[in-house]
Chain A
Amino acid sequence: MAKDSGIGASIKRREDVRFLTGAGNYTDDISIPGQLYCFFLRSTVAHGKLNGVDTAAAAKMPGVVRIFTGKDFEAVGGLPCGWLITSRDGTPMKEPKHPILASGKVRHVGDPIAAVVARSLAEARDAAEAIEVDIEELPAVIDMKAAVSGSAASVHDEAPDNICYDWGFVEENRDAVDAAIKGAHHVTTLDLTNQRLVANPMEPRVAVGDYNRASGESTLYTTSQNPHVIRLLMGAFVLGIPEHKLRVVAPDVGGGFGSKIFHYAEEAFCTFAAKAIGKPVKWTSDRSEAFLSDAQGRDHVTKIELALDQNGKFLAIRTNTLANMGAYLSTFSTSVPTWLHGTLMAGNYTTPLIYCNVKAVFTNTVPVDAYRGAGRPEATFQLERVIDKAAREMGIDPIELRRRNFVPADAFPYQTPVAVQYDVGNYQATMDKIVELADVAGFPARRAESAARGKLRGLGVNAYIEACGIAPSQLVGQLGARAGLYESATVRVNAAGGIVVMTGSHSHGQGHETTFPQVIAEMFGVSEDMVDIVHGDSARTPMGMGTYGSRSIAVGGSAMVRAAEKIISKAKKIASHLMEASAEDVEFKNGVFSVAGTDKTIDFASVALAAYVPHNYPLDQIEPGLEETAFYDPSNFTYPAGAYACEVEVDPETGVVEVKSFAAADDFGNVINPMIVEGQVHGGLAQGIGQALRENTVYGADGQLLTGSFMDYAMPRADDMPMFTVDHSCQTPCSHNPLGVKGCGEAGAIGSPPAVVNAVLDALNSGGIKVDHIDMPVSPARVWDAIQAAQH
């Protein structure tokens, strides 16, 4: 029977009430009396020498308070990159400065040149138009292959060949992989592009800086997934403000999908300007500006080779990837194509030899960083596409080919040849489940029905695995991370029994305020109503690393459990004193402490009261109060995995692809709130299907962004999507965290693109149209082009 409380219950979200009544508190809803407004003058050219910025006329415009240029920021740091990658030759990556406002050069359309602070936004924008900028245009470096050809201009002097790093993984396997591929029975090769995407959370970014002269404290309200990370990066590396004088608040945040992890120039600017001027300074991005200033995602060009024996067993994989960094290194940009990508190239399979080469490339485009899945979708897509191609080439059913190569259920823990060790899993089980959910047996009949209407129907199936619960700090430290990736929680039980959990994790749609209390309710035997969550404010929560990489419940939830365990341990001592028993004999169950073998009991609330009213209390042994903090650092990643199936119908006359059905069988380990987990999968699927069929970020050769609004960037709409079939009943609980959870936020976006593209190719090939590959987005025009090419 379905639970109605605690772990495993589909409890309705408490945060919904404020969002459904217009009572949310998003950053743009915050207005501080006396606040000024900021407008950024951004470069309209992709690459150029910045010879001068003349603000004299603009400064005299109505309402203008002050205009800032790059000169004002020469004394402060650049925006830091959080992950050092070392090249194959042992040299560190090239790490040019990323200034708050452009200095010396502009490097992408949208690079901020000056910032006008005025009494109103309209006045700030009017004045920005009066700033005279002298830019000597340089050749734009846009295409990655051209960028590294040796004949392109240099985006940064520090990297004359435009290469940030040249990373090999696993370098020791390189020769063995080459040899295995050379001698293999069959080698399938695929060249593909994982196109650049824009995260586009519906809430554009906003920053409000405030400065209190009396206390000397700066406060930044910002649209962030991780306020403490922003406080650390901005305080320590950019503006030089110690933590106790810097508060970062990320209130209700309208989606992130990765793009609100990073520390951005506008945040640092508003904090800096508020102090410099002595008044609050607010910046609100509009959507057009977001397209030019939010870090973008993906953008890999890859060649993958898969070697197989005559039975279809995978022998080796070799990949060569160019990964676009854009014009500057965003916060976690360098880790995405390397440690979040190469380590996943084993997929769900026993391939013994793997080698990846990744060259990270500077171009005159908006910086690229993590977007939902971050590296793992790129790994999954190339692997699951090349397997499908191999299946077609070798005449083996694509599901069967995958089954022959899955890591067996009894082989866990399984050490991959790409550093990570999968703790648990059962890939045959999720494949069995998807074959059932997608009614693979009934597909031929559905195909025939489509054919009768002149349509080509295709079925695409794939598996996926991801590494989540980011991350073991010591491991990632060895790999170049410049931060720890633990999480924190403080559990405060108040005198009358009300409980508050202060978490370093952050919700921007995931529903922490509902799910975290479910765990506490289960542990303490209280109602969820007794538990509140505080998050998103560096002044109210312990130092935390925030939410990304599907880490909230796996790492943040684990920290909360650890803190709650400390509470229970202490409460047992108090209870033992109150019941005059030995602490070892006290048991705690369903909210009641009891003494083993007696009928003595005392409830949780009474113990809490005693902790704060310690009249009868073992003050000689323990302190009063009932509040505990824990930091949790995971010992391994978690490995959600599953199998996805997509059915499409292709109109061969127009190239239109319609998604007829999509089914997902995920193994997330234990699940706290099934309703929320399913919602996370739905959203991920829409983003993955959006990538597969619709979304694309296109720059002209001159570096102008051609898809700079929703008029040209094709966001998935309601009528593009089917109802989804999702299942999470195959559960191999994580072996190394206290809740046995793995995380579910990114799975949908990671696992779905190959299923869609595989389905389209299955449809076309079933109609006698021989097509090996179509790059995403598989738009009507591209499908039609592929059909024309195949038929002529």
Chain B
Amino acid sequence: MPKVSMTVNGETVSGDVEGRTLLVQFLREHLGLTGTHVGCDTAQCGACVVHVNGDSVKSCNVFAAALDGASVTTIEGMANADGTLGVVQQAFQDHHGLQCGFCTPGMVMTAADLLKRNPNPTEAEVRAYLEGNICRCTGYHNIVKAIMAAAANMSGAKVAAE
């Protein structure tokens, strides 16, 4: 069995995996990080999105063995150091951007990826970037609102810091 080491949410972890072990299985079953969810088996729904070396990736569609040495961030790594919600997370709560919560980790990870690349997206750009994240509860309305608000809050925070 290949041994794999990676950094997950800032901590170095390692484990023996089979070739067929998916990243999401490594996260959920080996590391107990059950915040990352599996909602489909065709890489369509995005409930499993995490960041790999800073890019959003569907963790159900990549092998753990392929990511030896990688840096992975999951939903469990998105809160502020003091445990309070990060800007994107807080915006989702403020704008009721989640209901059942199952797609939410993937939504937050994809939103964070978008805002890193495009700090001031238009509504259409937000919707387009969510193409690979399916939500059955919210009709996307409040998710889009939350992401737009997070963008505004982030740029506001930057202005305040400068």
Direct contact of A and B (CB under 8 A): yes
Q: Report which A residues bind B (CB closer than 8 A).
A: 12-13, 15-24, 26, 28-29, 122, 200-204, 252-255, 257, 286-288, 508-511, 675-676, 678-680, 682-687, 709-711, 715-719, 721, 723-724, 748
Contacts of A18 in B (CB 8 A): 101
B104 in contact with A20 (CB, 8 Å): yes
Q: Is the CB of A12 within 8 A of B93?
A: yes
Which residues of the partner chain A approach B116 to less than 8 Å between Cβ atoms? none
| Residues of the A chain whose Cβ atoms lie less than 8 Å from the Cβ of B105 | 22
B102–A723 touching, CB < 8 Å: no
Determine whether the beta carbon of B89 is less than 8 Å from that of A21. Answer: yes
Q: Does B133 contact A (CB under 8 A)?
A: yes
Whether the Cβ atoms of A508 and B139 lie closer than 8 Å is no
Task: Give chain B interface residues in 98-144, CB to chain A under 8 Å.
Answer: 98-105, 108, 123-124, 126-128, 130-131, 133-144
How far, in whole Å, are A679 and B136 apart by their CA atoms in the complex?
A: 12
Contact B136–A255 (Cβ < 8 Å): yes
Q: How far is the CA of A657 from the CA of B34 in the complex (A)?
A: 39
> Which positions 133-162 of chain B face chain A at CB distance < 8 Å?
133-144
27 contacts between A and B (CB under 8 A): A13-B93, A16-B93, A16-B98, A20-B89, A21-B35, A22-B36, A23-B35, A26-B34, A28-B37, A202-B45, A203-B102, A252-B101, A254-B103, A255-B99, A255-B102, A257-B136, A286-B38, A288-B41, A509-B99, A509-B100, A509-B101, A679-B99, A683-B138, A683-B139, A687-B136, A715-B134, A718-B128
Contact of A202 among B75, B102, B128, B143 (CB under 8 A): B102
Nearest opposing residue in chain A for B95, CB measure = A675
Instruction: Decide if B23 is an interface residue (CB 8 Å cutoff).
Output: no
Let me know if A201 and B85 touch, CB within 8 A. no
Beta-carbon nearest neighbor of A21 in chain B: B79
Task: Report A-chain residues with C-beta under 8 Å of the C-beta of B128.
Answer: 718-719
A residues within 8 A CB of B103?
Answer: 202, 254
Most buried by A among B98, B101, B131: B101
Contact of B144 among A13, A716, A723 (CB under 8 A): A723
Mark B34-49 against chain A: 1 for CB-CB distance below 8 A, else 0: 1111111110110100
- Nearest B residue to A713 via CB reads B44
CB distance from A522 to the nearest CB of B (A): 20
Q: Which residues of B contact A286 (CB under 8 A)?
A: 38, 40-41
CB of B78 closer than 8 Å to a CB of A: yes
B74 within 8 A of A: yes
Across the interface, do B33 and A202 meet the contact criterion of CB distance under 8 Å? no
Take A287-B40, A718-B127, A721-B141 as given contacts and tell me if A202 and B136 are in contact as well, using a CB distance cutoff of 8 Å. yes
* B74 lies within 8 A of A204 (CB): no
Would you call A21 and B143 a contact (CB within 8 A)? no
| Contacting pair A682 B101 (CB below 8 A) | no
**Contact B39–A718 (Cβ < 8 Å):** no
A202-B100, A255-B100 in contact; A21/B78 too (CB < 8 A)?
A: yes
A675 to chain B, nearest CB (A): 5
From A29, A676, A709, B42 is in contact (CB under 8 Å) with A709
The residues of B that contact A287 with a CB separation of less than 8 Å are 39-42, 45
How far apart are the CA atoms of A47 and B143 in the complex, in Å? 43
B49 to chain A, nearest CB (A): 12
In the complex where A717-B131, A717-B134, A724-B141 touch, is A201 in contact with B100 (Cβ < 8 A)?
A: yes
Would you call B101 and A15 a contact (CB within 8 A)?
yes
Say yes or no: B74 contacts A22, CB within 8 Å.
yes
Contact A508 B100 (CB under 8 A): yes
Within 8 A of A (CB), among B20-59: 20, 28, 33-42, 44-45, 47
Partner of B139 from A16, A203, A255, A682 at Cβ < 8 Å: A682
The verdict on A717 contacting B39 (CB below 8 Å), with A20-B89, A21-B78 known, is no
Report B82-99 CB contacts with A as 1/0, cut-off 8 Å.
000100010011101011
Q: A22-B34, A24-B101, A682-B140 are in contact. List 17 more A-B contacts (CB 8 A).
A: A12-B93, A20-B78, A21-B89, A22-B105, A28-B38, A203-B39, A203-B100, A254-B102, A257-B136, A508-B100, A509-B99, A683-B139, A685-B139, A715-B44, A716-B140, A721-B139, A723-B141
* Residue count of chain B within 8 Å CB distance of chain A: 54
Residues of A within 8 A of B40 (CB): 286-287, 709-710
CB nearest to A679 among chain B residues: B96
Is B76 among interface residues, defined by CB-CB distance under 8 A?
A: yes
- Closest Cβ–Cβ distance, residue A380 to chain B (whole Å): 18
Residues of A within 8 A of B39 (CB): 202-204, 254, 287
CA distance A687 to B137 in the complex (A): 9
Q: From B20, B76, B99, B126, name the one whose CB has the most chain A CB atoms within 10 angstroms.
A: B99
Q: How far is the CA of A257 from the CA of B100 in the complex (A)?
A: 11
Write out the residue numbers on chain B whose beta carbons fall within 8 Å of the beta carbon of A288.
41-42
Task: Find the residue from A201, A286, A682 having the highest chain B CB count within 10 A.
Answer: A682
Q: How far is the CA of A200 from the CA of B39 in the complex (A)?
A: 9
Chain A residues near B85 (CB, 8 Å)? 17, 20-21
- A687 vs B75: C-alpha distance when bound (angstroms): 27
Complex Cα gap A748–B35 (Å): 30
**In the bound complex, CA of A17 to CA of B85 (Å):** 8
CB neighbours (8 Å) of A201 from chain B are: 100, 102, 136
Q: In the complex, which residue of chain B has the Cβ closest to the Cβ of A204? A: B39
Point out the residue from A16, A21, A28, A718 that lies within 8 Å of B126, measured CB to CB. Answer: A718
B99 nearest in chain A by CB position: A509
Known interface pairs A202-B135, A286-B41; A19-B104 also in contact (CB < 8 Å): yes
Docked Cα-Cα span, A202 to B98, in Å, equals: 12
Once the chains are docked, how many angstroms separate the CA of A176 from the CA of B42?
Answer: 54
Closest to B39 in A: A202
Greatest chain A CB density within 10 A among B75, B79, B92, B136 is at B136
- In the bound complex, do residue A17 and residue B130 qualify as a contact, i.e. CB atoms below 8 Å apart? no
- Which residues on the A side are within 8 Å of B143 (C-beta)? 718
Report the minimum CB–CB distance from A345 to chain B (whole Å).
28
Let me know if B102 and A26 touch, CB within 8 A: yes
Q: Shortest beta-carbon distance, B18 to chain A, in Å?
A: 8
Q: Given known contacts A21-B85, A255-B102, A679-B96, is B136 in contact with A710 (CB within 8 Å)?
A: no
The reply to whether B127 and A710 contact each other, CB–CB distance below 8 Å, is no
State whether A22 and B98 are in contact (beta carbons under 8 Å apart), knowing that A255-B137, A717-B131, A721-B141 are contacts in the complex: no
